[in-house]
């Protein structure tokens, strides 16, 4: 099996071109290739497959083998792979309302529907940056899902490991719990992360983010990803954090998120209520994995 290792801000996955490869047991393969000691190493496995409704289809499997609905950093890498490996022909230009434009676009089928991405292409015909229209955030508790009261969950108190925490919950096609704090470095993420992820408040488990507001257009965050643990970055999580900061009256709709692996530019558009995420996508290496 041919594979490509790619990352978006250090959020690294093993990518397989299923236009050419057949994967019979992706959950088991994800567990094997993600092992950082005995495998290739990564936060999970992403399959790039044909689609009947878009330029390609993306499937994401976490390091524990569970399938996720969406991955923002992974989607940027998928877009880069599709363009550079000529799996589809890019369409017309793509614009962020009231912001910047990109020279070409692709439509990619995900667990959160078909998402459009804009591509920045350099003089060597390589994709250097990708902007994703992540769609409209989901705020209704039953649709996140989260077993908490109200029409929206904005800084609601919950108790985890004997600690009282205030959570804001958002779905970007996958569920996120955001917690604002003064110092992300002081958070015992290895303890609080899995406890929150697996709490009965969240029937489908949840991604966990601790966020410090640095200014009206700037935030710093750390992430515990559902099914993968502590990661260098989470694209959907950064989008959720930006939405949560606006809902809590802590930040504006356009901001930069600082993650351990680097920065993402975010824009929650007032025009169409969609969240736009812009950041890099990087190929690390290619190789062969023994047949399943």
| Residues with a known catalytic role | 71, 234
Measure the CA–CA gap between 78 and 243, rounded to whole angstroms: 24
Who contacts 142 (Cβ-Cβ below 8 Å, separation ≥6)? Answer: none
DSSP assignment of 6-43 equals EEETTEEEEEEETTT---S-HHHHHHHHH-TTTSS--S
SS3 assignment, position 238: helix
- The answer to whether 197 touches 206, Cβ cutoff 8 Å, is yes
SS3 assignment, position 246: helix
Q: How, if at all, do strands 207-215 and 175-180 pair?
A: parallel
- The answer to whether 281 touches 77, Cβ cutoff 8 Å, is yes
- The answer to whether 229 touches 220, Cβ cutoff 8 Å, is no
Who contacts 64 (Cβ-Cβ below 8 Å, separation ≥6)? Answer: 30, 31, 227, 228
Straight-line distance from the first to the last Cα atom of the chain, in angstroms, rounded to the nearest whole number: 8
């Amino acid at each position: 099996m041919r594979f490509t290792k790619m990352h978006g801000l250090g959020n690294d996955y093993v990518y397989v071109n299923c236009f050419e490869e057949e994967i019979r047991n992706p959950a088991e393969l994800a567990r094997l290739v993600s092992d950082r000691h005995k495998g290739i190493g990564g936060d999970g496995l992403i399959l790039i497959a044909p689609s009947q409704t878009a330029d390609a289809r993306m499937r994401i499997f976490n390091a524990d083998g569970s399938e996720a609905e969406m991955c923002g950093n992974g989607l940027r890498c998928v877009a880069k792979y599709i363009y550079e490996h000529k799996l589809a022909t890019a369409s017309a230009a793509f614009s962020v309302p009231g912001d910047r434009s990109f020279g070409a676009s692709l439509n990619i089928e995900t667990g959160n529907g078909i998402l459009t991405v804009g591509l920045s292409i350099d003089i060597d015909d390589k994709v250097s940056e990708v902007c994703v229209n992540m769609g409209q955030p989901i705020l209704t508790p039953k649709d996140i899902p989260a077993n908490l009261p109200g029409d929206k969950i904005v800084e609601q108190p919950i108790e985890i490991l004997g600690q009282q925490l205030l959570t804001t919950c958002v779905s970007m096609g996958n569920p996120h719990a955001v917690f604002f704090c003064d110092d992300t470095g002081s958070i015992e993420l290895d303890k609080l992360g899995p406890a929150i992820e697996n709490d009965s408040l969240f029937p489908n488990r949840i991604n966990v983010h601790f966020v410090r507001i640095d200014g009206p257009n700037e935030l710093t965050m750390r992430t515990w990803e559902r099914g993968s643990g502590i990661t260098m970055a989470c694209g959907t999580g950064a989008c959720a954090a930006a939405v949560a900061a606006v809902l809590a009256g802590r930040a504006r709709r356009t901001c930069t998120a600082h993650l351990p692996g680097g920065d993402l530019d975010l824009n929650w558009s007032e025009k169409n209520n969609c969240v736009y995420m812009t950041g890099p996508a990087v190929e690390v290496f290619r190789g062969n994995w023994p047949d399943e």
